[in-house]
């Protein structure tokens, strides 16, 4: 079952796609989009989390510029637009938006009070930044491009964080991967996993770089991590 949730901020209101599980109360997982908006792929991920017993919330990151953006990696004009939206995106405002979602999620009808955040690509970066700037209970970042440019935020991370990186990522090179691993190595309740031979967006089912085996392994690690940290 899906619904819309409106989040209020000082800059205005924005919408989130919400998928609910069969049984409640349940923990909440906030799913942060790629650069393509809350498209069919992100909605499918949210539905998958709902099937696993979570209230899944997928917020519209680009609402300030163009609410309701729904793009495809298979349409060249969509890709061009997605990268333009990414280039103009205000990450600091984005962290504020995620903080507002986390606050709303804790008291959402049917919610247990526990909230996790996960995200992919741009959403992976925003998940990492949210780990440093919000009070959610656990965070899972998939191939967050630009994480290595924000390693000064590591000291602010006090909650559990799991990071998945593609070993052959065209956007996150081996030096960046090593820097991320090194910066997070001594953080408690934090792990970085690298998937050799995989390219960026390896967990996007149906995507050009999808790797089924790596996706299965990464998602199994994510499921165990979230179950451990979001249990009531």
pLDDT at 1: 67
Beta bridge partners, 55, equal 28
Neighbour-count burial of 5, counting CB atoms closer than 10 A to its CB (0-12 exposed, 13-18 middle, 19+ buried):
middle
Residue 200 catalytic? yes
Question: Does domain 2-230 correspond to CATH entry 3.40.50.300?
Answer: no
Q: Tens of pLDDT along 172-185?
A: 999 999 999 999 99
H runs (alpha helix) in the chain: 40-51, 76-88, 91-106, 122-133, 174-184, 212-230
Residue 2 is predicted with a pLDDT of 79
Give the Cβ contact number of residue 223 at 10 Å.
13
Please, which pLDDT band fits residue 208 given cuts at 50, 70 and 90?
very high
Confidence of residue 232 (pLDDT cuts 50, 70, 90): low
pLDDT digits (tens, 9 = 90+) for 141-188: 999 999 999 999 999 999 999 999 999 999 999 999 999 999 999 999
Is 169 a known active-site residue? Answer: yes
Closest residue by Cα to residue 145 from 74, 199, 75: 199
Compute the average pLDDT of residues 16-39: 98
Q: What is the pLDDT of residues 51-106, one digit of tens each?
A: 999 999 999 999 999 999 999 999 999 999 999 999 999 999 999 999 999 999 99
Which pTM value belongs to this model? Answer: 0.98
* Inter-residue contact 140 to 116 (CB < 8 Å): yes
pLDDT averaged over every residue in the chain:
97
DSSP run (H or E) holding 211: none
Evaluate if residue 203 carries a pLDDT over 90.
yes
Catalytic residue selected from 169, 199, 209, 229: 169
Query: Of 200, 209, 211, 229, which residue is the catalytic one?
Result: 200
Give percent of the chain above pLDDT 90: 98
């Amino acid at each position: 079952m899906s619904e819309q949730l409106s989040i209020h901020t000082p800059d205005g209101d924005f919408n989130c796609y919400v998928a609910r599980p069969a049984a409640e109360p349940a923990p909440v997982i906030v799913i942060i989009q790629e650069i393509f908006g809350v498209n069919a792929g992100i909605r499918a991920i949210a539905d998958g989390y709902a099937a696993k017993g979570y209230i899944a919330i997928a917020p519209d990151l680009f609402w300030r510029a163009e609410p309701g953006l729904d793009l495809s990696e298979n349409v060249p004009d969509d890709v061009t637009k997605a990268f333009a939206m990414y280039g103009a995106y205000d990450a600091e405002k984005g962290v504020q938006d995620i903080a507002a979602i986390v606050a709303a999620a804790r008291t959402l009808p049917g919610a247990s009070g526990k909230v996790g955040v996960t995200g992919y690509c741009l959403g992976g970066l925003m998940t990492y930044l949210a780990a440093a700037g919000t009070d959610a209970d656990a965070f899972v970042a998939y191939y967050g491009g630009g994480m290595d440019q924000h390693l000064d935020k590591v000291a602010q991370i006090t909650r559990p964080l799991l990071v998945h990186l593609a070993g052959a990522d065209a956007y996150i090179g081996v030096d960046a991967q090593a820097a991320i691993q090194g910066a997070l190595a001594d953080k408690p309740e934090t792990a970085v996993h690298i998937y050799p031979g995989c390219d960026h967006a390896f967990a996007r089912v149906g995507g050009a770089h999808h790797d089924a085996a790596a996706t299965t392994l990464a998602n199994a690690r994510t499921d165990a991590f979230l179950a451990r940290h979001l249990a009531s």
